[in-house]
């Protein structure tokens, strides 16, 4: 036992190594938090600003490494501007030389104290550049790491800066909890809830809240900001002192090598931890709704379902274009005499198979709208097919692509896709997958 | 022709607005300010976002705005706006700013020209409002930027908002950007000076088929390497990326060109004109700025004799291609 000016320090033996409690005095970190908002306020903000404000309001988040890449740049710009303008803050922004450096910096920061949150934002090839380290982070138990992923097509040939979730979907095996948000409010709310999920002792897995580039990152709308005190009170209910050590003497030091005899064991444990999200996420979402009066985390948003009643066409999609579907749904249904409902997937990893299966099992046709390039029928299509496998009289699946590279998904495009869903009520889909743009099937 | 009243449409449903301009011209700030303005009203919902490519300053950009008393679900681009803004006349060379606007819509144009001239030139049917925003910007902000006036004209087009709120919201947007107080005051002057400079009229100049979007005809052939082909296509007139109101000028009355050829080798578009010269090797004679000069400034920077410069240029409605600049 020794002491420092920061407070009493104790060494505690754990199966994973020695934990040095008290090296970072959390009470002092908490006391040093200078609130950004002392009352509930309405702003006009874009998605990047909404995500940045949420991370700034957390007393546990004091270090923000970053490297700019469109369309996530405004996240780090906002964080830097607000930290720079706040007198006496303990928060620090670290601009690094590349995304890989950012991810490595997060390892050190997160490992130094697992009770503090370290957060950054990136997009597209920025996330690709981080991959070597994100794969380690995903397995590390660093639930205190949060990468805000602003979706953008992860290809530089051709380069396109608009929103397309191919980056998020290409990184589903990195081991992060990936949650898609749409709309400013949902972005803000998701970022607040994500660490509660990731840092839970049964989960201990980094989080990757995400939203569509340009379509949401750059779209301004009204946003309700809760006070810092209320945000932190909510997080404090869920985030407890971490039971694992940092990287010192721990088995999570990057570069540690095990033989195949042990590797699988670690991976099984990693898988079990992330699957605990399926039980925990609805609890956190329900508590958020009770606290703030808005819907909290959910596996998916849904529209048009009536209890367990059957529905002719059920749409599966994600992101802000689902709103356009919502706006045409009733008129299309009335015109065609068919019942139409839909879900917008929010939890991408782990995929909520059981909940999706339950919701879609009584649909006659499931129209899956993919927005990311895929070598086969589409990422979401495969997930839905998996979720529905084994269902008695399974729905017919129609696989569509629209909005790749952030292309506009117009009302006419949704109507054309719904038409294909309607046709599949009586005949097999014309093709294994179909691509739509500006109201036409290509 | 029935003129569509934006305020009435807003009261009944979703008001859709679109703007065209050039990157760096202030279109995004104008639309963000409009969004903040309507968002500040009780029980109002807004949606505002820009559309732009990775191209730099001078490229065409678009902004979209939806306002409603109810939550807005729809998330696709605005294709049938009731109110549309042309922030920069040069932007209209590459896009139809009135595309999809219904008969009786409102067209706001940042220009010195009259509403009647604009209605005839762009074939507009509806309310046409013009404002000399660049001139107001030059006078009050010492910079030919028309977004302050465009914002005021757009508010005027929609109607029903108190002047003080209109001014306060715009200045609030500037404060968020940490603009110095002296510039905020100049913006206030520009805002207040705009209202009297707005001209308006109702015209019916659209011909059948005007401003109707053509149906998407597919992507055609896009073989491997097509990205490069698109980039270098003769139809991709990079001159539309040039700063509005300026053109490259070459002047060499005393034949000072040394024949160093730096301008020729550094020009990314290959538009420098030259001829063989016995004494110098080559003699530069000018530059073809009609299609591909985007005013990157490489030649201006590299020429040891300072023979290239930016010259002021009045946007012309003459459809004839710009002349080769040679003096």
- The predicted-structure confidence for A260-282, as pLDDT tens digits, reads as follows 878 888 889 899 999 999 999 99
Does residue A1 surpass a pLDDT of 50? Answer: no
Cα torsion B237, B238, B239, B243: sign: positive
Supply φ then ψ for residue B100, to 5 degrees: 80, -5
Whether A339 and A312 have beta carbons less than 8 Å apart is answered as: yes
pLDDT value of residue B17: 98
- Maximum alpha-carbon separation in chain A: 76
CB contact under 8 A, B46 and A221: yes
- Going by C-alpha positions, the residue among A117, A100, A191 that lies closest to residue A149 is A191
Size of interface A-B (CB pairs under 8 A): 81
* Euclidean distance between CA atoms A411 and A337, whole angstroms: 18
- Going by C-alpha positions, the residue among A119, A126, A382, A142 that lies closest to residue A274 is A142
What ipTM does this complex have?
Answer: 0.88
Percent of chain A with pLDDT over 70: 94
8-state DSSP, B283 = E
Please report how many Cα atoms fall inside a 13 Å half-sphere around the Cα of residue A122, on the Cβ side.
30
Complete edge-to-edge strand list for the sheet that includes strand A207-212: A92-95, A61-66, A117-122, A145-151, A207-212, A177-180, A347-349
- Going by C-alpha positions, the residue among A146, A131, A133, A121 that lies closest to residue A70 is A121
Question: Could you say which of A81, A321, A442 has the minimum Cβ distance to residue B76?
Answer: A321
Beta bridge partners of B16: B66
The model's pTM is 0.90
Cα angle, residue A294 at apex, residues A291 and A297 outer, rounded to 5°: 90
Residue indicated by tokens 């898988």: A271
Question: Could you say which of B46, B74, B219 has the minimum Cβ distance to residue A323?
Answer: B74
Whether A295 and A285 have beta carbons less than 8 Å apart is answered as: yes
Residue A433 C-alpha from the chain's centroid: 26
pLDDT tens for each residue of chain B, 327 residues long: 899 999 999 999 999 999 999 988 899 999 999 999 999 988 899 999 999 877 667 788 999 999 999 999 999 999 999 999 999 988 898 889 999 999 999 999 999 999 999 999 999 999 999 999 999 999 999 988 999 999 999 999 999 899 999 999 999 999 988 889 999 999 999 999 999 999 999 999 999 999 998 888 888 887 777 777 666 666 667 777 777 778 899 999 999 999 999 999 999 888 999 999 999 999 999 999 888 888 889 999 999 999 999 988 766 665 444 444 444
Sequence-ordered strand ranges (E) for B96-138: 105-110, 125-131
For A86-133, what is each residue's pLDDT tens digit?
999 999 999 999 999 999 999 989 988 889 999 999 999 999 999 999
Question: Could you say which of A70, A161, A321 has the minimum Cβ distance to residue B75?
Answer: A321
For chain A, say whether B228 makes contact (Cβ under 8 Å). no
**Among chain B residues, CA nearest to A441:** B218
- Going by C-alpha positions, the residue among A432, A313, A417, A422 that lies closest to residue A378 is A432
Supply φ then ψ for residue B91, to 5 degrees: -65, -25
Complete edge-to-edge strand list for the sheet that includes strand A363-370: A300-303, A340-345, A311-317, A363-370, A396-401, A434-437, A440-441
Contacts of A104 (CB under 8 A, 6+ apart): A133
Helix (H, G, I), strand (E, B) or coil at B159: coil
Contacts of A116 (CB under 8 A, 6+ apart): A24, A26, A29, A60, A61, A62, A63, A109, A110, A144
CB contact under 8 A, A214 and B77: no
Using pLDDT thresholds of 50, 70 and 90, give the confidence band for residue A54.
very high
Within 8 A of B51 by CB-CB distance, chain A residues are 214
Identify which has the larger pLDDT, A430 or A381: A381
pLDDT value of residue A4: 38
Whether B68 and B60 have beta carbons less than 8 Å apart is answered as: no
* Euclidean distance between CA atoms A324 and A321, whole angstroms: 5
* Burial grade of A264 (CB within 10 A; 0-12, 13-18, 19 or more): exposed
């Amino acid at each position: 036992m020794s002491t420092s000016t920061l407070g009493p320090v104790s060494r505690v033996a754990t199966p994973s190594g020695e934990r040095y409690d008290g090296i970072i005095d959390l009470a002092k970190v908490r006391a040093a938090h200078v609130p950004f908002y002392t009352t509930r306020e309405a702003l006009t903000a874009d998605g990047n600003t909404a995500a940045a404000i949420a991370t700034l309001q957390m007393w546990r988040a004091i270090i923000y490494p970053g490297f700019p890449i469109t369309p996530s740049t405004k996240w780090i710009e906002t964080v830097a501007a607000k930290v720079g303008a706040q007198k006496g803050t303990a928060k620090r922004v670290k601009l690094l030389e590349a995304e890989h450096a950012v991810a490595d910096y997060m390892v050190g920061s997160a490992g130094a104290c697992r009770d503090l949150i370290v957060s950054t934002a990136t997009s597209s090839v920025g996330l690709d550049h981080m991959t070597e380290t994100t794969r380690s982070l995903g397995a590390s138990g660093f639930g205190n790491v949060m990468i805000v992923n602003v979706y953008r097509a992860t290809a530089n040939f051709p380069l396109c800066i608009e929103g397309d979730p191919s980056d998020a979907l290409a990184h589903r095996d990195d081991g992060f909890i990936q949650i898609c948000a749409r709309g400013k409010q949902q972005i803000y709310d998701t970022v607040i809830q994500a660490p509660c999920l990731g840092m839970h002792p049964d989960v201990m897995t980094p989080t990757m809240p995400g939203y569509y580039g340009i379509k949401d990152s750059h779209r301004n709308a009204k946003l309700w900001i809760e006070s810092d005190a209320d945000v932190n009170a909510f997080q404090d209910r869920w985030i407890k002192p971490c039971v694992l050590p940092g990287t010192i003497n721990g088995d999570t030091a990057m570069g540690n090598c095990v033989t195949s005899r042990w590797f699988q064991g670690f991976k099984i444990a990693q898988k079990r931890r992330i699957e605990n999200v399926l039980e925990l996420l609805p609890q956190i979402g329900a508590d958020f709704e009770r606290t703030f009066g808005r819907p909290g985390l959910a596996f998916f948003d849904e529209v048009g379902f009536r209890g367990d009643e059957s529905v002719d066409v059920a749409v599966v999609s994600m992101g802000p274009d689902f709103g356009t579907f919502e706006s045409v749904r009733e008129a299309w249904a009335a015109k065609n005499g068919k019942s139409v409902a839909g879900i917008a997937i929010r939890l991408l990893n782990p995929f909520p198979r059981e909940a999706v299966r339950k919701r879609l099992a009584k649909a006659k046709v499931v129209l899956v709208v993919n927005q990311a390039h895929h070598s086969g029928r589409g990422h979401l299509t495969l997930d839905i097919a998996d979720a529905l496998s084994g269902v008695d009289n399974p729905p017919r699946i129609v696989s569509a692509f629209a909005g790749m590279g952030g292309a506009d998904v117009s009302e006419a495009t949704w109507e054309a896709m719904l038409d294909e869903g309607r046709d599949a009520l009586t005949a097999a889909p014309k093709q294994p997958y179909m691509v739509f743009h500006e109201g036409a099937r290509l | 022709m029935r003129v569509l009243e934006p305020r009435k449409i807003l009261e009944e449903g979703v008001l859709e607005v679109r703007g065209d301009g050039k990157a760096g011209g202030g279109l995004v700030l104008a639309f963000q300010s409009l969004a903040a303005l309507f968002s500040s009203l009780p029980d109002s919902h807004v949606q505002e976002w820009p559309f732009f490519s990775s191209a730099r300053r001078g490229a065409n950009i678009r902004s979209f705005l939806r306002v409603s008393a109810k939550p807005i679900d729809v998330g696709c681009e605005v294709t049938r706006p009731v109110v549309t803004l042309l922030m920069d006349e040069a932007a209209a060379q590459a896009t139809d700013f009135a595309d999809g606007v219904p008969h009786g819509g409102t067209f706001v144009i940042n220009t010195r020209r009259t509403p009647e001239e604009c209605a005839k030139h762009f074939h507009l049917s509806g309310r046409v409002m013009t404002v000399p925003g660049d001139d107001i910007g030059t006078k009050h902000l010492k910079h030919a930027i028309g977004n302050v006036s465009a914002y005021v004209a757009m508010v005027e087009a929609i109607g029903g908002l108190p002047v003080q709120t209109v001014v306060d919201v715009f200045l609030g947007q500037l404060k968020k950007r940490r603009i110095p107080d002296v510039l905020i005051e100049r913006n206030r002057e520009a805002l207040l000076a705009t209202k009297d400079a707005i001209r308006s009229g109702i015209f019916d100049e659209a011909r059948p088929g005007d401003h109707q979007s053509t149906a998407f005809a597919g992507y055609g052939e896009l073989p491997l390497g097509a990205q490069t082909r698109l980039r270098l296509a003769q139809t991709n007139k990079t001159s539309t990326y040039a700063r509005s109101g300026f053109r490259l000028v070459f002047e060499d009355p005393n034949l000072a060109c040394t024949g160093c050829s730096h301008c020729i080798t550094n020009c990314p578009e290959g538009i420098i004109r030259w001829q063989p010269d016995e004494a110098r090797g080559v003699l530069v004679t000018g530059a073809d700025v009609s299609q591909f000069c985007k005013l990157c400034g490489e030649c201006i920077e590299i020429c040891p004799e300072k023979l290239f410069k930016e010259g002021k240029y009045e946007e012309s409605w003459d459809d004839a291609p710009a002349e080769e600049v040679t003096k």
